[in-house]
Amino acid sequence: MDAAAAAALLEVAEDARARARRQDPLANRQVEDRYPELLEAIDWHLAVGQRDAAYRLASALVPFWIASARIDDGDTWFERALGTGDASARALYDHGYLVFFAGRYEVAEQRFRSALALAETAGDRSLQALALAGSARVALSTDVDAAVRLLRQALAVTEGRPDSDPGRSSTLHVLGVALQMSGDLEGAREAMSARLAMGRTSGDEFVVWTESANLSMVERRLGNLERAEQLSLEALQVSASRGEEMMIAWTVNGLAAVTAAAGDHERAATLLGAAAEMLRRAGGQWPPDEREQHDASLAEVAAALGPDALAAALARGAGLSLTDGVAYALRR
């Protein structure tokens, strides 16, 4: 490894991250093909004292680590690099964000708090908002009101910045989820609808996926089942185009909830079984809002089907491959 090779690999990783954001189904292939070299490059940057470049490359790999069920790889690297005491606010945030999706909330919160302190010292308002939104994600599992307060603080910090600012954008996304979980469904609908419209206008398929999936949850709770199903199917089509199993698991979980609410309990249970198995294969855990939705749907179908029929439907869904599970969910 030399400087030129390491720089070229950084370009590969950052290009893949940008393409993944645009929902390019081939985005992760170039990282997969050169993954051993990319890990070598991160370590090379550290060895020669280029910590900023190492953290920048690791940041670019975070979406790949999540999408490819390699959260443990990223976690191990961040623990080793940040353990030297020479941390950056962005690296601390990225580590927290990564492990949050594996359900390691205590570590995530420690990283978000440390990132916030450094971002405040540096006067980086966008990164302050990212860290506050990260802490809010964690708080959603235990104290929704505290999460909303953190998000209001993040909005105040980024007052005057465009909604496309990374910190403000993340805050607005998590705020919609928090409002939904707090019972403010109209407020959640307003926040999610605005972001969905922005995503469609800008062509940001990632935003379209997240907000379609989240708004489906709100519309279902408001009793608008046809609209909820349309949004879930739109989100599934976007996530399926990427083939990222964790994203697809969350989306199928939402579709299962709509299906259960419509009274098709056997199909809903099959979808729940498929979603849970997808999530297991991806190495993830349900985020707080998805866990709440999953558990409520499971309780509903269990009451309707009885233990034997429930077990059979869950097993049927769990036995589906990713391709077959998506086809089943889309009724293809």
The structural domains of the chain, with segments of one domain joined by +, span: 1-70, 87-182, 201-332
The Cα 63–Cα 241 span in angstroms is 16
Tokens of 29: 């292939």
Q: For position 83, what pLDDT does the model report?
A: 73
Tokens of 203: 């062509």
**The Cα angle at residue 41 between residues 56 and 75, in degrees rounded to 5:** 60
The pLDDT tens digits for 241-258 are: 878 898 899 999 999 999
The Cα 91–Cα 328 span in angstroms is 39
* Residue % of the chain over a pLDDT of 70: 99
* Residue % of the chain over a pLDDT of 90: 70
Tokens of 172: 């607005």
Q: For position 1, what pLDDT does the model report?
A: 81
The pLDDT tens digits for 28-78 are: 888 899 999 999 999 999 889 888 888 989 999 999 999 888 999 999 998
- Reply yes or no on whether the pLDDT at 84 is more than 70: no
Residue 81, helix vs strand vs coil: helix
pLDDT-based confidence at 285, cuts 50/70/90?
confident
The Cα 149–Cα 179 span in angstroms is 11
The Cα 154–Cα 149 span in angstroms is 9
Handedness of CA 19, 105, 320, 207 (dihedral sign): negative
The Cα 170–Cα 203 span in angstroms is 17
Q: For position 202, what pLDDT does the model report?
A: 85
pLDDT-based confidence at 86, cuts 50/70/90?
low
pLDDT-based confidence at 8, cuts 50/70/90?
very high
Q: Which of 39-48, 83-92, 95-104, 155-164 has the weakest average pLDDT?
A: 83-92
The letter for the amino acid at 174 is V
- Reply yes or no on whether the pLDDT at 297 is more than 70: yes
Of 57-71, 112-126, 189-203, highest mean pLDDT: 112-126
Mean pLDDT for 185-212 is 91
Q: For position 93, what pLDDT does the model report?
A: 96
pLDDT-based confidence at 100, cuts 50/70/90?
very high
Q: For position 25, what pLDDT does the model report?
A: 74
Mean pLDDT for 166-184 is 93
- What CATH number matches the domain at 87-182, 1.10.10.10, 1.25.40.10, 3.30.1360.120, 1.10.3720.10? 1.25.40.10
State pTM to two decimals. 0.83
pLDDT-based confidence at 85, cuts 50/70/90?
low
- Reply yes or no on whether the pLDDT at 314 is more than 70: yes
